[in-house]
Chains A and B, each alone.
Chain A
Amino acid sequence: GNSVTQMEGPVTLSEEAFLTINCTYTATGYPSLFWYVQYPGEGLQLLLKATKADDKGSNKGFEATYRKETTSFHLEKGSVQVSDSAVYFCALIPNSGNTPLVFGKGTRLSVIA
């Protein structure tokens, strides 16, 4: 079946540190891949996406590259800020079949000044 595995949190970093949140997936065919962010007390909003192999999604200094060979979509940011503290969700939607969006369990990031 289709599934997404994210690294367990919480992750605590100092401001300006480098961030990596690992995400690997299992899916039939070539799914579209997404990272969502949820700030405290809010809903989910799309952070970035990639729809085919080797695509790089980027937004607000975050990047993730669709790696078909390793079935991964790791989220990275070179220098985190306190305002990046949030929960990050990796997700996929399969390109075939009537199957729904699949989320990882989420990774909570806390950035301290």
Chain B
Amino acid sequence: EAGVAQSPRYKIIEKRQSVAFWCNPISGHATLYWYQQILGQGPKLLIQFQNNGVVDDSQLPKDRFSAERLKGVDSTLKIQPAKLEDSAVYLCASSRTSGLMNTGELFFGEGSRLTVL
């Protein structure tokens, strides 16, 4: 079974530029998550999709971050304009069910490492 695919693996941009990350979840997983992990911290949820609908985006900085999952499969996360504090690893995860109520397992991609100069 193929895992969660993310691209690009690395991205370096200057502040005020824009960047987009792509994620393809495990086949059949209805729920997709985007997390931000700053060095030395645990992952922080940005947005959760159930199929192509947004379940929770309460922690997404909507003035500069946007995400979509138009066909209920792959997803993109965009940052525009980027700030220095956006430097982090952006992790995409998927699961068969919403939240951790059943198996408790989120499957993460390898992440996209963003450096903002």
Partners in one complex: no
A-side residues, CB < 8 A to B, are: none
